[in-house]
């Protein structure tokens, strides 16, 4: 039975199967096997007890997509999440399940502009994912209409209880229609959650899934605090520290996985990228290479890595900090399996320390801080390793096939010169300090400087250049372009920088995370259904500088449309 047939047996539609195929899911998780058929029957409410990292979003997201009417502009599903990070993640995940359907999905949370959210709600969406506080604010303002609600989902209910949201949840539930299905998911079932189910749910069915447990005793969890621009160098040092490095390296976006895998290959490591844009054939080929250790570093997104079960990984490395504790648990649970020792490493920038501490607290993990190895230590380690390997060859007596070369060289030169020359020939690059670049200790002063530079330059860590197929001929100016992206993709306007407008096209800089989301939102919305926004292949260095506030260009010679673009440097 093929992977897709396993999902088809659950009763999902062709559009949902198309979305699953695109994402590369290998097989349904236990919670998905139990939940999806029940939801598609459109009968009882559901209480699902499952730990983090079990695929709950797909379990309720896919059947909800199959049970609502698209392109109505009326809210038919409401998902409550305890944190803004989880709300955004669930919204993005559900967005990937649309399978070509015209279903609007809006994350609603505190800290984001009310006006942005109100405009999207007024325009019309079918699914809202939000935090309790902000949803109540919209209900009080009359900007959240739930008259057509069909599904109400409480995600991480016990966590919302721990955060003091239980009264807010009751208030929201009291303002929803009586005729709806309620889905409650919780890792634990404290008495208060059970009372909530009994009060607001009709006849419900309880689903219990034994979760994948964190093997804390077998997983050494550490973190390194580094500047964003030093992450790549830090990764290389960690790889070189290990005699055998067989690892999954997690990035948050598809763009970043490609960039990082390419940089590792350029550095001489056997690496490959795995993400949702790959075909099933490409995905299977890469996974086969990884399982056979022809590739020993797999750079992947969370979604692409789901369904992969490889028990002998030495490391899991969070190149990008996970969005939430659920993602962290799911990632590091992939090492330390089958009784084998594993190491989970997380890179954080100074500004991400607080988020890491929240992840540590909520996931009940012990993550200790370590210092990156010095270059001198790495060189010494490599030399000791090579001496040990040569000793093994001599003791095993597996050198006879090259004895005639040794005798020929020893007839001409002293033994120490011959050995030194051979080591230089074989390991010259390994012993060179030029292979490594300096890593600076993060500081508050540097953090500010780094952020300012990365806001302005696509060469900096975390920033990419977007090409937009709209220009002056489309009556576009910097303010209009920023507003368009902001309203359609729900991206903070302050993250859209260095806007440049030309006659037929424009450019803008945004962080990698937002870039991937923006590209997906505007896919197929250009002329002849071509992508309206794509990643720029080059950086415009001679473009006229714009004033983002006024939209007026500074005096400069405008570059002609279609002129050559200089090659873009990659920097990590």
Q: How far is CA 142 from CA 137, 176, 252, 253, in A?
A: 9, 13, 35, 36
Is 48:184 a contact under the CB 8 Å cutoff? yes
**Bridge partners, residue 107, by sequence:** 129
Could you give phi then psi for residue 333, rounded to 5 degrees?
-65, -5
Nearest to 110 by CA among 126, 131, 125, 94: 131
- Using the predicted structure, report yes or no on whether residue 382 has a pLDDT greater than 80: no
d(CA 298, CA 310): 12
Least confident of 217-231, 232-246, 261-275, 446-460: 446-460
pLDDT mean over 480-491: 83
Q: Each residue of 500-529: pLDDT tens digit? A: 999 989 999 988 767 877 887 887 777 766
The CA radius of gyration of the chain, in Å to the nearest whole number, is 27
- Using the predicted structure, report yes or no on whether residue 208 has a pLDDT greater than 50: yes
Nearest to 83 by CA among 129, 138, 117: 129
DSSP state of 73: -
- Using the predicted structure, report yes or no on whether residue 46 has a pLDDT greater than 90: yes
26-40, 57-71, 336-350, 395-409: range with highest mean pLDDT? 57-71
Q: What percentage of residues in the chain have a pLDDT greater than 90? A: 31
Q: Reading across the β-sheet that carries 297-300, which strands appear in turn?
A: 271-274, 297-300, 247-250, 315-318, 342-348, 219-225, 368-369
pLDDT mean over 551-570: 36
pLDDT at position 181 is 94
pLDDT tier at 339, thresholds 50, 70, 90: low
By CB neighbour count within 10 A (0-12 exposed, 13-18 middle, 19+ buried), where does 564 fall?
A: exposed
Nearest to 249 by CA among 290, 190, 307, 206: 290
pLDDT at position 174 is 93
pLDDT at position 364 is 77
pLDDT at position 450 is 37
pLDDT at position 172 is 95
pLDDT at position 51 is 64
- Using the predicted structure, report yes or no on whether residue 544 has a pLDDT greater than 50: no
- Write down the residue that tokens 């230089």 correspond to: 424
pLDDT at position 461 is 47
Is 247:316 a contact under the CB 8 Å cutoff? yes
pLDDT at position 188 is 78
**Strands (DSSP E) along 380-470, which ranges?**
463-468
By CB neighbour count within 10 A (0-12 exposed, 13-18 middle, 19+ buried), where does 326 fall?
A: buried
Q: Where are the alpha helices (DSSP H) in 81-113?
A: 84-95
Q: Each residue of 437-453: pLDDT tens digit? A: 777 767 544 333 333 33
Nearest to 517 by CA among 76, 49, 88, 19: 88
d(CA 166, CA 173): 11
CATH architecture assigned to 455-535: 2-Layer Sandwich (3.30)
By CB neighbour count within 10 A (0-12 exposed, 13-18 middle, 19+ buried), where does 307 fall?
A: middle
- Residue 549, Cβ neighbours under 10 Å: how many? 8
pLDDT tier at 407, thresholds 50, 70, 90: confident
Q: Where are the domains of the chain?
A: 3-208, 216-372, 376-435, 455-535
**Strands (DSSP E) along 212-302, which ranges?**
219-225, 247-250, 271-274, 297-300
pLDDT mean over 283-305: 85
- Write down the residue that tokens 């299905």 correspond to: 181
22-26, 132-136, 383-387, 521-525: range with highest mean pLDDT? 132-136
293: left (phi over 0), alpha (psi -120 to 50) or beta: left
Could you give phi then psi for residue 191, rounded to 5 degrees?
-55, -40
d(CA 249, CA 261): 10
- Using the predicted structure, report yes or no on whether residue 285 has a pLDDT greater than 70: yes
pLDDT at position 508 is 92
The whole-chain average pLDDT of the chain stands at 80
Q: Each residue of 151-183: pLDDT tens digit? A: 999 998 887 887 788 899 999 999 999 999 999
Crossing angle for the helix pair 231-241 and 254-266, nearest 10 degrees? 60
- The distance from CA 365 to its chain's CA centroid, rounded to whole angstroms, is 21
Q: Which two tokens stand for residue 325?
A: 């504790």
d(CA 339, CA 364): 21
Q: Each residue of 310-326: pLDDT tens digit? A: 768 889 999 988 876 76
Q: Classify 3-208 by CATH class.
A: alpha beta
Same fold, 3-208 and 216-372: yes
Q: Give CATH for domain 216-372.
A: 3.40.50.300
pLDDT at position 510 is 87
């Amino acid at each position: 039975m093929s992977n897709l047939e396993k999902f088809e047996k659950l009763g999902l539609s062709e559009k949902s199967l198309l979305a699953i195929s695109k994402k590369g899911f290998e097989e349904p998780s236990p919670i998905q096997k139990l939940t999806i058929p029940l939801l598609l029957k459109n009968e009882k409410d559901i209480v699902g007890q499952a730990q983090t990292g079990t695929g709950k979003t797909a379990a309720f997201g896919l059947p909800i997509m199959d049970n609502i009417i698209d392109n109505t502009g009326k809210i038919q599903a409401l998902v409550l999440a305890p944190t803004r990070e989880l709300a955004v993640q669930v919204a993005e995940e559900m967005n990937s399940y649309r399978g070509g359907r015209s279903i609007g999905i809006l994350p609603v949370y505190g800290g984001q502009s009310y006006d942005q959210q109100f405009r999207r709600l007024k325009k019309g969406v079918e699914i809202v994912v939000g935090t309790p506080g902000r949803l109540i604010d919209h209900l009080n303002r009359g900007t959240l209409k739930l008259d057509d609600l069909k599904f109400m989902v409480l995600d991480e209910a016990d966590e919302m209880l721990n955060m003091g949201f239980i009264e807010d949840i009751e208030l929201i539930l009291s303002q929803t229609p009586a005729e709806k299905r309620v889905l409650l998911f919780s890792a634990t079932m404290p008495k208060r959650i059970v009372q909530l189910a009994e009060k607001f749910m009709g006849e419900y069915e309880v689903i219990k899934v034994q979760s994948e447990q964190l093997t804390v005793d077998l997983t050494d969890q550490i973190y390194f605090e580094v500047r964003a621009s030093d992450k790549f160098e830090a990764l290389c040092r960690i790889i070189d520290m290990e005699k055998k490095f067989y690892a999954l390296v997690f990035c948050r976006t598809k763009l970043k996985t490609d960039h990082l895998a390419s940089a590792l290959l350029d550095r001489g490591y056997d690496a490959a990228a795995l993400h949702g844009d790959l075909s099933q054939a490409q995905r299977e080929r890469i996974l086969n290479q990884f399982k056979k250790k022809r590739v020993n570093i797999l750079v992947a997104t969370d979604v692409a890595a789901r369904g992969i079960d490889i028990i002998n990984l030495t490391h899991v490395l969070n190149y990008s900090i996970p969005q939430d504790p659920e993602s962290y648990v799911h990632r590091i649970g992939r090492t330390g399996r089958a009784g084998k020792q594993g190491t989970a490493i997380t890179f954080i920038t100074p500004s991400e320390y607080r988020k890491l501490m929240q992840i540590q607290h909520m996931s009940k993990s012990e993550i200790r801080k370590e210092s990156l190895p010095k270059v001198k230590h790495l060189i010494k380690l490599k030399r000791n390793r090579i001496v040990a390997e040569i000793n093994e060859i001599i003791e095993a007596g597996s050198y006879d096939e090259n004895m005639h070369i040794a005798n020929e060289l020893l007839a001409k030169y002293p033994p120490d010169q011959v050995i030194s020359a051979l080591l230089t020939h074989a390991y010259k690059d390994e012993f060179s300090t030029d292979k490594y670049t300096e890593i600076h200790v993060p500081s508050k002063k540097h953090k500010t400087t780094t952020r300012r530079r990365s806001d302005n330059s696509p060469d900096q860590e975390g920033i990419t250049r977007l090409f937009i197929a709209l220009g002056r001929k489309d009556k576009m100016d910097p303010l209009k372009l920023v507003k368009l992206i902001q309203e359609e993709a729900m991206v903070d306007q302050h993250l859209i920088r260095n806007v440049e407008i030309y006659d037929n096209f424009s450019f803008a800089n945004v962080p990698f995370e937002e870039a991937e989301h923006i590209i997906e939102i505007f896919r197929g919305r250009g002329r002849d259904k071509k992508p309206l926004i794509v990643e720029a292949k080059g950086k415009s260095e001679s473009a006229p500088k714009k004033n983002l506030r006024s939209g007026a260009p500074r005096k400069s010679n405008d570059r002609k449309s279609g002129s050559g673009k200089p090659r873009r440097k990659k920097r990590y």
